[in-house]
Amino acid sequence: MAKTTLQGRQRNALTKFIDHTLLKADAKASDIARLCREAKEHGFKSVCVNPCWVPKCREMLAGTKVAVCTVIGFPLGATSTFAKVEESLQAIDDGADELDVVINQGLLKSDIYACFCELSEIVRECRAAKKGVVLKLILECCNLTKDEIVVASTAAKKAGFDFVKTSTGFGKGGATVADVKLMRKTVGAKMGVKAAGGIRDRKTALAMIRAGANRLGCSCGLALVK
């Protein structure tokens, strides 16, 4: 009985870490509706969807504590700064509470100052549009060296992002404990770290939290709480 109770507590504790995610290109309206129902039922922190579904999620989740999260410049991060800003502002206007923005990896590797300027502009415009909007920067760590992860995480913190995030889930690799530890060490205790990509079971989820993640991006959220 004691073991069963402990497992139940672990499942309940995990729910507030989870961004219940569906970013497949062929996701249907019925799939998005199911995602929202599951998030409400289990008390997940947010649903994370492509921008076109933000209004539907906002409508379905009205009056709940489940946030609406969407992605910007997804999945490559290589759109223009103007495009990222406009996409962000449209998402906010549609009702998004949280934005997961993909860093321009090529710009990071070739001109860190220009990359920082882009991040700063996105933060400035989003903060002006909506007070309290949560901004997460997706690094796609599988494409970066350890030094580049440190540089990108530092730039995100200085630009004013609330979180750094490991992965899009569409790259060649997802979250690793080593990358989460490095990101946490770099940004310190107060900034958020989101682990995403390849988190399919409770054991992996708990390992990411122990490494320093305080948010988990999961397309298999139900598997973590059942």
* Residues marked as catalytic: 100, 165, 194
Q: Where are the beta strands (DSSP E) in 91-186?
A: 98-102, 134-138, 163-165
Are residues 104 and 78 in contact, defined by beta-carbon separation less than 8 angstroms? yes
For strand 18-22 and strand 163-165, is the pairing parallel, antiparallel, or unpaired? unpaired
Backbone angles phi, psi at 44, to 5 degrees: -65, 160
Residue 8: count of CB within 10 angstroms of its CB: 11
Are residues 149 and 141 in contact, defined by beta-carbon separation less than 8 angstroms? yes
